[in-house]
Chain A
């Protein structure tokens, strides 16, 4: 089972590099995504057994994030077909300077996309910290070509920054691995998995453990996009094709988050929950503050979404730091991923319609492209935590956790930052949505490509449903996952 989960995307990815004609390759992409989704769905029946001597195992937490990744990838795959049909071979106009450029070969794109899925699955599946590291580093490497799909300077620059910064960060996480090993040196034959370590948490060397955690925090935090380590994130998200941005923001960040949670579980077991909790909350609020500062007055709507991702990673960290609110944080991870992916896919449609990312040149979306405009407005409301959408519930839940831990001041700060982000995004999004269409949108093509309209629409529907009714299984899964990840 687990091998299938890994193998399907890997093999399909490898094959995609070789298939020449477009049609079959796109079909392969869809088939692989669907297969992966079905396999993941099967895991909800019952968790598959461990593989590779416990290095790979799907626990409740892994299943949650794997399913998230799988769903988003399915949506992205469908969207990608429409995207490739329109953007596949034609030369495109660069929106800032307006010169022509062509795109990376579709085979490379598709292949890397599938490998991306594979590596993300790997990091969701691996229990062994070393393997986890391998998986996460691999996600960086296979997603770099995706960011560089548009063969032009800005995306190239973004790719380079993404590569170097994330590699450096993750290298530090590797050092963290070794520190962890040192901390566990009393048990030379201990398997370096979260469960084993947690089981023997008492015998771990506290100092080394703390140091290891700090390294993990900085390393995976870089990948997760916690301020001030987030610097690569806005560039990569804004320059990558929207479908890739959706996956980066919706799935990749979660992988890093999961890794951090696994480390956190060990420390919690070792009784260092307050140590990690404080750090998580600090980084969370800092990220929210930085994101708010950059969202206010933002001029590029994809960068705005990217910073909003930073903000929500902050929310997740804050929630985890509260300890008792870990289930809320996990639920928020689900909500954020769905909403943000929906927003990025919509942003892709807007980009196709307006041919610019600059907020100043876009007016009257609701009139020019009603469908996408509506989704855009709705997504904004959802991501800023307005009812009746999913994020509201999870953010409220986190707030409740904060108050129940008597962190009144922090809760107030958390709300204040959420409010600031709302004001910032409202100013931008409302300007874009209302009024008469601007020049750029006068000649907007009709919204007629179902491949590119349905995925965001369905995601939006899911977000709305999650705001009014959280299915029992999901709720249980979230709670189980929180237990697996050592929430108190």
Chain B
């Protein structure tokens, strides 16, 4: 436990040093990244120890606040989240040292590094805190730190807008959490999260609803997701990676923690999560499909993956509620593993996108293309990430989705056909659409010919950025091949969530993982076949002449980059299919006349919920407020009249009866 505190201390210290270094970019980066690395290394050790089954003593320090206490504990669930948080933060820090260089002349990097380390530290505290007040403080510090990172480039109007949206959304989400935790505190008699209060069914449901909204806002469940596609693209890419990869997972952590505290779930909680998951997943990927800003697209995919996690949780809870331990285990296991996986591949993808931005200077896919030749490292890593996020074997995305599928199938054969069917259908549709989305993303950005000058002059990133991307890519492959190994470590949290007796839980968990071993075998077979096929092709081509030529344009001899399919046109069939919902705005200039002039076709898809739900609500509130302005009209006589009337009303109301 002490080492966790030490880790947090190191992080904060490094940040402070970076802040002190201020304008001196080199030292700021040194201290900032150094603190992050050191803290991560120190902090991961106890977490791994706990996962390996060596429990750590909880910590309780004196604390000078009228309410709450400073108490930390590292149970398997916390440990399972600590690992990706610290790991990704460390890699992002390494990446950042190079990524931030171009900004150095324009603005001091000290603050950026300070908030980055603060973000890491607060996330760490959030997942190990065992006291409501401490949790809330860390939670808000996390939000504020990330807010200042999001507004790093605040000279841009869009970034300021995004910052506002983010701050407001996260704060309003916290409001629900305040109620949630204070409710628990009242029932439990203390703000400690270790002493689990026994809630009446009604209160438990209220608490669950509060937690779902409060944590869901951070996690990015639709319709509370609106801040996410604004804030993540606005932040520097390594920060986007951390925010999307692990920060929003703290919302999932909170939800899981809440579930462990609220006792046995009624069925409707499970349905609720399944519904939320299906909606978030499908709409998330649809929105993503319609985006042409690479980072925005990735942000929407975070919504989608959060949806998948929710599906896992939901089916797990259905299993638990219906007394199907197998379904529960598989569902929760899948959700947990997907948390880790999403941290890996979404971190990788955002870092890749950052490298594209760094090398080609734009995020607009319509101006990119052909980068794989100029940025082989980035391109390859991005390809791995893309395949992983589509859930394709032999990569990690498949393993977690497989578990959730398996849970759903088990639910189907064990009599919960309806819930299982929803999950299967949602996952399948998400999978198909995600594949469409990432063939588009990868294909348009990295393949074909450059669509613009900037893309043509793109340059590959340096060692630091390559390194962190490569590590994440390797992680994707590793989990894909050795999923059972990773999951055998996560028996603790799964047991906590599934509410199974810890004593003999592990080996039933091992049994449940048997299919996964076969998956690994299958993945191995697949790899073998790949090598075989490659060898076959090489053998076939040996000694034959290999020509180079133009792309076959069906007889057209002078193809140009402008003839390629664009991102918009690639996605059009599907977005068109869902146009009733997406409300994609098209701007087309049709060719006219016998000698047609330039024609163009572009689309943009603003967030339906933002445009249709929140904007009207906020504008309505503003209108109402302005309509009340007349109260303060400046006429002193009427002000005095207010006083007289108030007195009169009070006297009549409170004394008139007596």
Binding site for B on A (CB under 8 A): 160-161, 164-165, 168-169, 172, 207, 210-211, 214-215, 217-218, 222, 228-229, 231-232, 234, 275, 279, 290, 292-294, 296-297, 327-328, 331, 366, 381, 386-388, 392-393, 396-397, 399-400, 403-404, 411-412, 415-416, 418-420, 422-424, 426-427, 430-431, 434-436, 467-472, 475
Q: Please, which residues of chain A bring their CB within 8 A of the CB of B625?
A: 292-294, 296-297, 424
Q: Label chain B's interface by main secondary structure.
A: helix
Contact of A214 among B155, B636, B654 (CB under 8 A): B654
* Contact, CB under 8 Å: B655 / A160: no
CA distance A309 to B547 in the complex (A): 79
A-B contacts, 12 listed (Cβ < 8 Å): A168-B643, A218-B643, A222-B643, A231-B639, A297-B622, A328-B66, A387-B137, A393-B65, A393-B66, A411-B182, A430-B164, A470-B65
Q: Please, which residues of chain B bring their CB within 8 A of the CB of A423?
A: 168, 171-172, 618
* Contact, CB under 8 Å: A290 / B631: yes
Contact of A218 among B154, B157, B646 (CB under 8 A): B646
Asked whether B601 is an interface residue with its Cβ less than 8 Å from the other chain, the reply is no
Asked whether B650 is an interface residue with its Cβ less than 8 Å from the other chain, the reply is yes
Q: A234-B632, A397-B67, A418-B175 are in contact. Are A296 and B621 (CB under 8 A)?
A: yes
* Contact, CB under 8 Å: B654 / A293: no
Q: Please, which residues of chain A bring their CB within 8 A of the CB of B133?
A: 393, 396
CA distance A328 to B66 in the complex (A): 9
Contact of B624 among A232, A279, A293, A436 (CB under 8 A): A293
Contact of B154 among A164, A419, A426, A435 (CB under 8 A): A435
Residue of A nearest to B63 (CB): A469
CA distance A423 to B469 in the complex (A): 38
Q: Please, which residues of chain A bring their CB within 8 A of the CB of B172?
A: 419, 423
* Contact, CB under 8 Å: B186 / A400: yes
* Contact, CB under 8 Å: B160 / A430: yes
Q: Please, which residues of chain A bring their CB within 8 A of the CB of B155?
A: 435-436
Task: Please tell me the number of chain B residues within 8 Å of chain A, measured between CB atoms.
Answer: 51
Residue of B nearest to A331 (CB): B66
* Contact, CB under 8 Å: B141 / A388: yes
Query: Which 8 A-B residue pairs are closest in the complex by CB-CB distance?
Result: A434-B154, A469-B64, A296-B625, A387-B137, A231-B639, A387-B140, A293-B628, A293-B625
Q: A430-B163, A434-B154 are in contact. Are A386 and B171 (CB under 8 A)?
A: yes
Asked whether B183 is an interface residue with its Cβ less than 8 Å from the other chain, the reply is yes
Asked whether B626 is an interface residue with its Cβ less than 8 Å from the other chain, the reply is yes
Q: Please, which residues of chain B bring their CB within 8 A of the CB of A290?
A: 628, 631
Contact of B643 among A172, A210, A381, A470 (CB under 8 A): A172
Q: Please, which residues of chain A bring their CB within 8 A of the CB of B433?
A: none
Q: A210-B658, A397-B67, A470-B66 are in contact. Are A229 and B642 (CB under 8 A)?
A: yes
CA distance A275 to B140 in the complex (A): 37
* Contact, CB under 8 Å: B160 / A229: no
Q: Please, which residues of chain A bring their CB within 8 A of the CB of B186?
A: 400, 403-404
* Contact, CB under 8 Å: A172 / B171: no
Minimum Cβ distance to chain B for residue A159 (Å): 12
Q: Please, which residues of chain B bring their CB within 8 A of the CB of A399?
A: 178-179, 182
Q: Please, which residues of chain B bring their CB within 8 A of the CB of A412?
A: 179
Contact of B179 among A234, A411, A467 (CB under 8 A): A411
Q: Please, which residues of chain A bring their CB within 8 A of the CB of B557?
A: none
Contact of A400 among B63, B67, B628 (CB under 8 A): B67
Q: Please, which residues of chain A bring their CB within 8 A of the CB of B626?
A: 297
Minimum Cβ distance to chain A for residue B212 (Å): 16
Residue of B nearest to A213 (CB): B654
* Contact, CB under 8 Å: B182 / A386: no
* Contact, CB under 8 Å: A214 / B651: yes
Q: Please, which residues of chain B bring their CB within 8 A of the CB of A415?
A: 175, 178-179
Q: Please, which residues of chain A bring their CB within 8 A of the CB of B658?
A: 207, 210
Residue of B nearest to A479 (CB): B66
Q: Please, which residues of chain B bring their CB within 8 A of the CB of A403?
A: 179, 182-183, 185-186
CA distance A331 to B67 in the complex (A): 12
Counting chain A CB atoms within 10 Å of each CB, the highest count among B151, B631, B639 belongs to B639
Minimum Cβ distance to chain A for residue B642 (Å): 5
Residue of B nearest to A415 (CB): B175
Asked whether B629 is an interface residue with its Cβ less than 8 Å from the other chain, the reply is yes
Q: Please, which residues of chain B bring their CB within 8 A of the CB of A234?
A: 632
CA distance A161 to B636 in the complex (A): 6
Q: A214-B651, A294-B629 are in contact. Are A430 and B167 (CB under 8 A)?
A: yes
Minimum Cβ distance to chain A for residue B424 (Å): 39
Counting chain B CB atoms within 10 Å of each CB, the highest count among A214, A217, A234 belongs to A214
Q: Please, which residues of chain A bring their CB within 8 A of the CB of B471?
A: none
Q: Please, which residues of chain A bring their CB within 8 A of the CB of B647?
A: 172, 214-215, 218
CA distance A210 to B655 in the complex (A): 8
Minimum Cβ distance to chain B for residue A200 (Å): 21
* Contact, CB under 8 Å: B164 / A426: yes
Residue of B nearest to A275 (CB): B654
Asked whether B144 is an interface residue with its Cβ less than 8 Å from the other chain, the reply is yes
Residues from 629 to 658 in B contacting A, C-beta threshold 8 Å: 629, 631-632, 636, 639-640, 642-643, 646-647, 650-651, 654-655, 658
Q: Please, which residues of chain B bring their CB within 8 A of the CB of A422?
A: 168, 171
Q: Please, which residues of chain A bring their CB within 8 A of the CB of B636?
A: 160-161, 164-165
Known: A467-B137, A470-B65. 9 other contacts (CB 8 A): A164-B640, A165-B643, A172-B643, A214-B651, A214-B654, A294-B628, A400-B186, A403-B183, A415-B175
